[in-house]
Amino acid sequence: MKKRLWVLHPLLLASTLPALAAQSDEDSIIVSANRTHRTVAEMAQTTWVIEGQEIEQQVQGGKEFKDVLAQLIPGIDVSSQGRTNYGMNMRGRAIVVLIDGVRLNSSRTDSRQLDAIDPFNIEHIEVISGATSLYGGGSTGGLINIVTKRGSRIVRSILRWAARAVLRTATIMMSASRRPSAAEQTTHPAACR
């Protein structure tokens, strides 16, 4: 009886080899942080990109941020009836405002949300005209994605020392920063100031 089992074990293992070989032929799964694996530039819709330098020039001229958006984005309508009655639409339809790809979900109106954004911290603004479900519902008119500037990498460390007998202490502050490479300066000149 035991001899028969020893003969069956290698036969059972050999019968599972085709199943193991078939599993390696499956397609790989791509996990994306977005709902689709495409960027905004690859969408088949009308898109505009407004650079931060343009926005800074307009704001330095004395315009409010909402008025700058109304001037630079084609088809956007900004009603300025008052702080609480303020609304934005694109060609008469509702729009969605994002900051760095995160939807602004608030009970406040668009004016208070836009007033909370410092125009000098904006790298660029991406605008998609027309209905899109890429970032959820409610964007029948379009989508405005405000991309903020990234901070520089600064490494800070504190070195402290003290003597045993005497209570003398000193603090030395050290800092270091990284300069952007030539390739980064040519691709993102606004971030290299």
Average pLDDT over residues 36-43: 61
Domains, the chain: 40-148 (2.170.130.10), 154-192 (no CATH)
The rounded distance, in Å, linking the Cα atoms of 56 and 54 is 5
Q: How far is CA 57 from the centre of its chain?
A: 24
Please indicate whether residue 189 or residue 87 has the higher confidence score (pLDDT).
87
Residue 93 · residue 140 · CB < 8 Å: yes
Q: How far is CA 187 from the centre of its chain?
A: 18
Q: Give the torsion through C-alpha atoms of 53, 55, 57, 63, to 10 deg.
A: -170
Among all chains, which residue has been given the structure tokens 């909370």? 116
Hey, what amino acid is at 137?
A: G
**Per-residue model confidence (pLDDT) at position 192:** 43
Q: Is the pLDDT of residue 108 over 70?
A: no
- Confidence at 64, pLDDT banded by 50, 70, 90: confident
> How long, in residues, is the chain?
193
**Per-residue model confidence (pLDDT) at position 90:** 81
Q: Is 173 exposed, middle or buried (0-12, 13-18, 19+ CB in 10 A)?
A: exposed
